[in-house]
Amino acid sequence: VITVEEGSSFEDTLEVVEGMQFDRGYISPYFANKQDSLTAEFENPYILLVDKKISNIREIVPLLEQVMQQSKPLLIIAEDVENEALATLVVNNMRGGLKTCAVKAPGFGDRRKAMLEDIATLTGGTVISEEIGLSLETATLEQLGTAKKVTVGKENTVIVDGAGNNADIENS
């Protein structure tokens, strides 16, 4: 992935960082915080990885409260975010509360699980999966991944410089 950014100096610089892009964008355009490019851009966000649909906001309220205390944005990558949960996240975003963006997880079936694990490795997070005994209600900040920058468009998501262990990233 190649990104070009404006700088404040007179020199051009090249910086090579680890990252990934996948072909899924935001679930709702109301998550976009850059109206000129219709993208959601976050610096140092937490990244929640879930292998199921989130439809009930009560499932993630405890985690949202923890994230809000840290004053950081949150990227949610899940099988889907729908109904009450989606509406609540959108309203919070529009009112300037917790900055969030929800994205459908890439891939299908077993491939989706593998891609979520790859994102977890890149970002230093854990996939919240009931198969391994983890639930959204008891999720903690330590299970969330992080990255230096995330850009989510209508059709794709770019995660740059995840906080994962370099040795783990190279081995995956």
Tens of pLDDT, residue by residue over 91-126, are 999 998 899 999 999 998 889 999 999 999 999 999
Asked whether residue 11 is domain-assigned, the answer is no
Asked whether residue 89 is domain-assigned, the answer is yes
Asked whether residue 101 is domain-assigned, the answer is yes
Asked whether residue 4 is domain-assigned, the answer is no
Average pLDDT of the chain, as a whole number:
92
- pLDDT-derived band of residue 6, with 50, 70 and 90 as boundaries? confident
Asked whether residue 7 is domain-assigned, the answer is no
Lowest mean pLDDT among 2-6, 40-44, 118-122, 131-135: 2-6
Q: Are 31 and 90 contacting, i.e. CB atoms less than 8 angstroms apart? A: yes
Rounded CA-CA distance 87/19 in Å is 30
Per-residue pLDDT reduced to its tens digit, 29-72: 999 999 999 999 999 999 999 999 999 999 999 999 999 999 99
Sign for the pseudo-dihedral over CA of 37, 9, 150, 168: positive
pTM recorded for the entire structure:
0.90
Lowest mean pLDDT among 20-24, 45-49, 94-98, 132-136: 94-98
Asked whether residue 137 is domain-assigned, the answer is yes
CATH number where 161 lies: 3.50.7.10
Number of domains composing the chain: 1
Q: Are 127 and 77 contacting, i.e. CB atoms less than 8 angstroms apart? A: no
Q: CA-CA distances (angstroms) from residue 22 to 101, 115, 125, 134?
A: 15, 9, 17, 25
For 149, the domain range is 19-171
